[in-house]
Amino acid sequence: MKDIRIEKVSKAYNGEMILDNLSLTIPGGKFFALLGPSGSGKTTLLRLIAGFETVDDGHIYIGDQDVTHVPINYRKVNTVFQNYALFPHLNVFDNIAYGLHIKKVPADVVEYKVAKVLKSIHLEKQMYKSIAQLSGGQQQRVALARAIVNEPEVLLLDEPLAALDLKLRERMLIELIDIQSALNTTFVYVTHDQLEALTVADQMAIMNYDGQIEQMGTPKQIYEFPQSSFVAQFVGTTNIAKGTLVRDEVKDCIEIPGWGTLEVALPAGKDWAQPGSSVLMSLRPEKIEITKVQKAGFSNCLQGMVQSIVYHGRSTQYNVLVGENNLIQVFEQNEDHFPDQIIDYDDKVYLYWQKENAVLLER
């Protein structure tokens, strides 16, 4: 299990800087997700690690080996692409065995390795079928098997589920987690889909539009404690409000135009979080309780009117107007067939949340 170290790597295309002095360490043996918007440089970084592209400046290490200028075929790295890149004229067995044949692995070893990997992805019964006979999900698993049969130290996955429908994507995400756990190989998964990244990753990094790392951590750390407004808004959905920190007797508060004065928990070790500072507040929609009756026991309460309702099945989204022009989004889990209260359009409602559930960000 070898770490991947990206040290001060830069890459430009046609004079346009894609990655500029980027440094990043991807821990070995982990399922690592690289998440960011289109054009942030995710795929470029993946291609540099794989060796499909050469760096303009900087170094790439796998373990202690500097692979910056090592040819593709000498790197113990394999890649699974979005379009799978399977050979349509070869059957399942021959697609998976292709790399082993190139390496002149003995036939009996090839048969053993292919059978073993097919069993791990539950495709042993399709061993001699043509690629055209397989479903999209099965083809994706064949592409995975072809990559892992060579026992790479690193497996790179470039948006491998993008062509699948939602149900199949959800199932394949779980299978990917199981495969990585069984192999104990470093997986680097590139995606712009936040749900995919949060589902599969042990660790993840968020890239911004400038190709820089905004934040790195576990999915829970990234989602619950974003370190910038970019991360807060890109990973999941949130309500962002601008305000000023104030000290109200014994409480720390934020004054937000149109919202009023609300209690907050100041983050530890942040010098910018001082009374009088202009800051941002991020409040996730699911952290807010919505009700038509008044309640006690919450740090904060706002009153508003329901403007629109979106039913998502597992949850319902309420867009609530607070004041004249402040729209706050709320998610409520649909736990009961027959809830105690029905919230409808134009209903006057109360929004409650605890101060610890709002995250303060430097403006």
253 pLDDT band (50/70/90 cuts)? very high
Residues 201 and 314 in one domain: no
CATH code for position 101: 3.40.50.300
Tens of pLDDT, residues 322-356 = 998 999 999 999 999 898 899 999 999 999 999 99
- The number of beta carbons lying within 10 Å of the beta carbon of residue 85 is 11
151 pLDDT band (50/70/90 cuts)? confident
Question: Does the global pTM surpass 0.85?
Answer: yes
Q: Which amino acid is at 179?
A: I
Closest CA to 359 of 232, 230, 253: 232
Please give the pLDDT value at position 144. 85
Residues 22 and 81 in one domain: yes
The C-alpha atoms of residue 32 and residue 204 are separated, in whole angstroms, by 5
Domain edge (last residue) among 163, 195, 228? 228
- The number of beta carbons lying within 10 Å of the beta carbon of residue 363 is 13
Tens of pLDDT, residues 196-214 = 999 999 999 999 999 999 9
Averaged pLDDT score across all residues of the chain: 93
Please give the pLDDT value at position 82. 77
Residues 212 and 68 in one domain: yes
Please give the pLDDT value at position 133. 92
The token pair that represents 7 in the structure block: 């040290």
Domain edge (last residue) among 182, 207, 228? 228
Tens of pLDDT, residues 62-110 = 999 999 999 998 898 999 887 778 899 999 999 999 989 988 999 999 9
Find the mean pLDDT for residues 220-245.
96
Tens of pLDDT, residues 23-55 = 999 999 999 999 999 889 999 999 999 999 999
Q: Which helix (H) or strand (E) holds 71?
A: none
Please give the pLDDT value at position 68. 96
Which domain range does residue 254 map to?
237-362
Residues 43 and 108 in one domain: yes
CATH code for position 331: 2.40.50.100
Q: DSSP labels for 261-289?
A: EEE--PPTT-TT--TT-EEEEEE-GGG-E
Q: For residue 248, is pLDDT > 80?
A: no
176 pLDDT band (50/70/90 cuts)? confident
> How many domains does the chain fold into?
2
Residues 266 and 304 in one domain: yes
190 pLDDT band (50/70/90 cuts)? very high
Q: DSSP code of 74?
A: G
Residues 133 and 157 in one domain: yes
Domain edge (last residue) among 181, 210, 228? 228
Residues 6+ apart with CB under 8 A from 122: 141
Residues 108 and 165 in one domain: yes
- The number of beta carbons lying within 10 Å of the beta carbon of residue 113 is 19
Residues 197 and 135 in one domain: yes
Higher pLDDT, 279 or 363: 279
183 pLDDT band (50/70/90 cuts)? confident
Residues 53 and 197 in one domain: yes
